[in-house]
Chains A and B, each alone.
Chain A
Amino acid sequence: MATFLAPVPQVVAHRATDPSSAGEAHGWTSWITTTDHKRIGIMYMVTTFVFFCLGGVEALIMRLQLGAPNNTLVTPQTYNQLFTMHGTTMIFLFVVPMMAGLANYFVPLMIGARDMAYPRLNALSFWLLLAGGIVFYTSIFWNPPEAGWTSYAPLSNAIYSPSGGQDAWIFLIHLTGLSSILGALNFYATIANMRARGMSWGRLPLFIWAILTYSILIIFAMPVIAGAVTMLLTDRHFGTHFFDPANGGSALLWQHLFWFFGHPEVYIMVLPGFGIVSEILPVFARKPIFGYKAIAASTVAIGFLGFLTWAHHMFTTPIPEAILVFVMLSSFIIAIPTGVKMLNWIATLWRGTIELRTPLLFCAGFLALFLIGGISGVFLAVFPVDWQLNETYFVVAHLHFVLVGGSVFTIFAAIYYWFPKITGRMLDEGLGKLSFYLMFFGFLATFLIQHVMGLDGMPRRVYEYANVGHLALYNQISTVGSFILAVGVLVTIVNVVRSLKVGVVAGPDPWKANTLEWFTSSPPPVNNFDVVPLVRSVEPMKDIRREVQQRSSGATVSGGATVPTGATQVGV
């Protein structure tokens, strides 16, 4: 018979050698020198989570400052530095590289590969990211940047922002940008070339579709910002005048270049989250994803359209009306595939048997919050309406619904879903649920009311506000909410630290999930798989489990004579 025998999932992969022997490296040098995608992935995730906490502390200080009108907790300069550090940290040092970390760990496992296509380049990506973060954060000992994460010229030029903090920001963009580009090339090459036998494009897990699109967006968008910050650097130090209106430069050019990168960046941050949700929902609804092709296609469509909407960040600038109209329409069009995904996810839950475990709760939280962010986005796309809402707390609320709802909640879903695979231990469900509810309601308290602040005329990026109307009350609600949100994050940190030692041992496939990473042991050995199974559908693990079941019931019938215990037939 043209078949070969592969062990059942519980014992599919072995360590190449005994870990206690010299085969597998130990100690901190082994981490510094590693090219294993899983170790690099872990380093990415831990590093970026540390930056997430730093960015969170910055946010809390800002919320404290705004907790009372005309407050004097921090100086205007410090406040500007705080929101610049917060925005930059969350985007360049947390969400984008956290997604890279998850992708690093799970892309090879999910496509049945033994490592990334370029393992050493992969290590370089991580070390460039860390270097960028260090260069940027070292500036807090001198003068941190204070021109906002958008660093609009001419404010970011040397006359108005002479401190080296602005240069630290530029180097951060260069280093993390290079890290992202190299990582993206690596993901692309890995996904294009190293998939398991039988994993055609139509059987690619949706998380992989999302990472593929994420990679393409990075490859196209990052060079634009790299060029822009290089021009800013030469404007600041080498006498060029790209953005200097007094010498023939254009201040608007910066905004165009920045947002040509900046808007695709939004999708770079949320598309992997969409991928995570598309993986988790079917597992916990015990039902296939609804409309696989529609979700995959809309991911790619969003990626493409994401390059046509940048000027909706510039509705209030002096630009021709034709651009206003075009960008409003393109922003409307991009809402369609996004809305379609939302309905596909809800349809995936529909008529399933939903197990309300923590990963699913975070996905449900994502759906509830991201919908609000998507709808407020339509308000902002209507350009005359945007004339009232732009640059106010309405936009702050919108972007946090999109990025915390869309990215942070999906990252937490991913942490709860994949922690057992990475560590071999389960996270505690009780703490997980507590963390979710604190984060969910803390988030709503913080950001829902910010829409109203913006509608009442409170601009963003102000360190103080007058005690008019109900602004003081609204801001107090928001500040209290932010601390509830922070406690929620803290509970997950406690959960992670605790579970590393005392968590229930997970086994290879605790969720009865669909994709190949659950085919190997938890944590996976260095080589990931001893045998890579043939993929015959978009849910290979379902096929394998079914086959195990058939085999073992068949074995019972035939008295177990022909099938070795604990083994299954996988293959042709």
Chain B
Amino acid sequence: MSHLLTSTLAFFTPESGGSSNANQIDSLYKITLYIALVIFVAVEGALGYALWRFRARKGAVPAQIRGNTRLEVGWTIAAAVILVGLAVLTFAKLASIQDPANSSANGEQSVGESGLLYASADRKLPPNGKSLNIQVIGRQYIWQYVYPGASEPDGLGAPYSYEQMVVPTNTTVTLDIVSEDVVHSWWIPELGGKFQAVPGYHNYAWFKIDKAGVYRGQCAALCGRSHARMIATVKAVPPAQFEAWLAYQKQEIGQANAEAKVERAKLGSQTGAGQVENP
């Protein structure tokens, strides 16, 4: 029975369960839903009752009423009061949705040493100022994730991945969302709201996953013909596993870059850079 109730409610509510901000949005949504249901039932009920009760019958005389100022003022104020209440609730919930929480004790621990976690001043950060910051780059039609740990100036040499983002559990992850071409929108429903990646702008989001697992989403803003295929997944793994993955990724990318450097040098000595363009 309770299972049926839960699944019925899930039918009417957004995805949640991955991160606390998604859960808070879900509970704000549910409050709105309960208020809405009362209004819906009352107004549709009044409409249906009026259509049935006051349909033309023999001998019925329509009441020639032109209005009722007190009633009209009354329901205007009632509507305003409901909306004021909803606004107050939204403001009360806002902090828990917008402001990132601290990482848990069993989250990623390499604080401030590896450069894995760093603080930034231009957006909301956890109270202790520490989070794993990942840059999310939207491109037609793939998401790229750049992790901290650049080995060269201008952020070069940082580990990155495409499509699947790997993150440590119990760790606050802050996202810096940008785009390299058109407008995209980052969205993993179970991890909270969506945020547009607009070229020329930075947008910010955060999540903190307690349960290891894979969370799925996709680009939510029309970005061209393959928009439907621009999917994104977030894979949460225990911190130790995450560190191993990141090290492996960094090593692979470093190795590939080194090989490319050798290849480039080889090509340069064979043909000479100038010869290609001016034979």
Contact = CB atoms under 8 A, between A and B. Distances in A.
Given A152-B222, A245-B199, A384 B93 contact: yes
Give the dominant DSSP class at B's interface: mixed
A227 to B, nearest CB: 20
B181 A160 contact: yes
B54 A154 contact: no
Category for how many chain B residues contact A: 35 or more
A77 B228 CA distance: 11
A288 B55 CA distance: 16
A175 B198 CA distance: 30
Contacts of B193: 316, 384, 386-388
A85 B274 CA distance: 50
A377 to B, nearest CB: 10
A354 interface: yes
A155 B223 contact: yes
A386 B240 CA distance: 36
A353 B60 contact: yes
B201 A318 contact: yes
Interface in B192-221: 192-196, 198-204, 216-221
A316 B194 contact: yes
Interface residues of A, number: 80
Contacts of A317: 196, 198, 201, 203
A315 to B, nearest CB: 9
B50 interface: yes
A506 interface: no
B40 A340 contact: no
A278 interface: no
B224 A382 contact: no
Contacts of A242: none
B219 to A, nearest CB: 7
Given A342-B43, A388-B14, A388-B189, A459 B220 contact: yes
A222 to B, nearest CB: 24
Contacts of B227: 76, 80, 461-462
Interface of B: 11-15, 22, 24-26, 28-29, 32-33, 36, 39-40, 43-44, 46-47, 50-51, 54-57, 60-68, 71-72, 75-76, 79-80, 83, 86-87, 90, 93-94, 97-98, 140, 181-183, 185, 187, 189, 192-196, 198-204, 216-229
Given A246-B199, A317-B198, A352-B62, 7 more contacts: A76-B227, A154-B183, A318-B198, A371-B47, A385-B14, A387-B195, A462-B227
21 contacts: A251-B198, A251-B200, A286-B62, A290-B67, A317-B198, A318-B202, A318-B203, A335-B83, A343-B72, A346-B43, A346-B50, A347-B68, A354-B50, A364-B51, A368-B44, A375-B36, A375-B39, A384-B90, A455-B13, A461-B227, A463-B228
